[in-house]
Amino acid sequence: MDVNLTLFGLAFLWGAFLGLIYFGGLWLTLKTAPDKRRPVRWLAISFVARLTMAMSGFWIILRMNPAVFFCTLAGFFLVRIVLTRMLGRKIKGVGHAAHA
């Protein structure tokens, strides 16, 4: 079995890019939704656009090599964890209500 580490690394980076688009877009959508005239429409359009981009990116990788797909997923969810921790610190009071 020939293991191409470059392919796995690029797949991981591709997953991180997809995660940045999806979860970064989610953060921007939620941040700007209260200022929109029709926030529900804004949320729906954003969801469909983010989901379409992420699923298209995953589909490209899955068609190339199913084993590499899991590296893409790892990059995607690592970005979710990192963004949650980074952006969660910027919001005052997050996590403190449960301890009171």
Flag whether 68 is in a domain: yes
Reference 3, options 61, 68, 62, 66; nearest CA is 68
Within-domain flag for 59:
yes
Q: How far apart are the first and last CA of the chain?
A: 55
Q: How far apart are CA 16 and CA 73, in angstroms?
A: 8
pLDDT per residue over 51-84, tens digit each? 999 999 999 999 988 889 999 999 999 999 999 8
**Domain assignment present for 46:** yes
Q: What is the C-alpha separation between 65 and 1, in angstroms, rounded? A: 13
Q: What is the pLDDT of residues 7-44, one digit of tens each?
A: 899 999 999 999 999 999 999 999 999 999 999 999 99
User: Would residue 44 count as lying in a domain?
Assistant: yes
Domain boundaries, position 64: 22-88
| Domains in the chain, number | 1
Let me know if residue 67 belongs to a domain. yes
Residue 4 lies in a domain: no
* Position 100 confidence tier, pLDDT thresholds 50, 70, 90: very low
> Is residue 11 one of the residues assigned to a domain?
no
Tokens 């953060």, located at residue: 27
